[in-house]
Structure 1
């Protein structure tokens, strides 16, 4: 009998939300466990960090010296590595430390900062090892992880979802919250994957799925300014969950540094 494919789910600096994409599958997870061998998944129970697997899913960013060593081990112990979520793909909200004096933050927060093992930066997994597939989102969802696993085990890398949230709103016939209500929305520069969840309920997109393809951040910044946002408010829209993504970081810093006319 042919052995089942082996998978692992690893956690680095993160909130664990993306691992819930697996746990929330419910009955589908039980069926998945019958098709693959879940070798390591601490949040679900199995512990076998050093075992070799076909596919390793990694949640979280590299934020400590220990993380730097551990991600090398994860890469050596898998055939394909998939990053899941904003932390693993772009450093996460904690990547804000990369633009600040991280040591000063630690000193201000902790009574004994000398015991805190923390790098001055929070970086995506791809800064340290080869990544075979990136799944964006904060958090990712079950459809993404199951679709990615099915494709990889079938021998091909699935295409990235790079459409803008605006296109998803059109497909769902949503009324544009920015055009109709002057609500500042990141949909024009953010990739879909969430199903345009927030705009479907009349709320603005806040960029949790990261930069879309062919984005025009300068145009969006100009529009946000036109509906009353000051420079710092615009900057914070970009420098949020995916602040480590180069396109968002550059746009945020450009908005912050823009001089008054």
Structure 2
């Protein structure tokens, strides 16, 4: 009797651009979940985990980090061409990251402040998400990403289905945890109403207002949010700093026009 055909395992590639590596470390932290998953896939390229990296093509590529240098432009196009599916993970890859603060200032001044020899540094004037340069099949938010959502995304693409990732706000998660609303009960500024869920409302559960590390949700109403922050005692400058962090490019894109002083 003929042996059944052996189907090759799907090939996974994990790649880094401008980032802190935190989202890749989240994947490495999924020890218990990765053990059964590793039997179903071939981890062909993951420099954070192994020096044994293999060339493409890849069935699924996970990309962390923003496009911040000329070399990044060429590299992301090559990875896209070698990938059946490409998923961006984390705030840097989906929104440009905290380094996107350069988009609103003079990058030459930043470069001279950070580096002793700025003439040796090649960088772009902006830090942009991967989707600004190549087609992306899915964006997984967070700084860092949530391990449960990451496993869901990987298994979904290996099963040829859409990932089941909610697009509601952090407020829904607070209600599920039974967490008292910080702005209502204590007057603590919180970006929960406009922030994408995924963290499990971790900060509000410990008395700290959400600061938007998962970026704006699909139902964000920023014109209504700004007056609420002001009513909680935040100045115009405080509001600006509150929004201009990990997902500055995403939040800035939906901020209402500010009144002239």
**TM-score scaled by structure 1?**
0.94
Give the aligned partner of residue 258 of structure 1: 259
- Is 1:137 the counterpart of 2:142? The answer is yes
| SS of aligned partner of 2:249 | coil
Contact 2:182 2:188 in 1 (8 A): yes
Pick which of 83-92 and 110-119 moved more: 110-119
Give the aligned partner of residue 249 of structure 1: 252
Give the aligned partner of residue 19 of structure 1: 24
Structure 2 unaligned spans of 5+? 1-5
Pick which of 232-241 and 35-44 moved more: 232-241
Contact 1:236 1:252 in 2 (8 A): no
- Following superposition, the deviation at residue 94 of structure 1 comes to 0.3
| SS of aligned partner of 2:227 | helix
- Is 1:75 the counterpart of 2:80? The answer is yes
- Following superposition, the deviation at residue 20 of structure 1 comes to 1.3
Give the aligned partner of residue 31 of structure 1: 36
Matches within 5 A, 1:84-123: 84-123=89-128
Contact 2:152 2:164 in 1 (8 A): no
Contact 1:238 1:251 in 2 (8 A): no
Matches within 5 A, 1:30-69: 30-48=35-53, 50-69=55-74
The whole-number CA distance in structure 2 between the counterparts of 1:110 and 1:252 is 32
| SS of aligned partner of 1:61 | coil
Aligned residues: 256
The whole-number CA distance in structure 1 between the counterparts of 2:131 and 2:155 is 22
- Residue by residue over 1:107-154, the C-alpha shift from the partner in whole angstroms, topping out at 9 and shown as x without a partner, is 233232110111110000000101001000010022111101111111
Give the aligned partner of residue 161 of structure 1: 166
- Following superposition, the deviation at residue 28 of structure 1 comes to 2.1
**TM-score scaled by structure 2?**
0.94
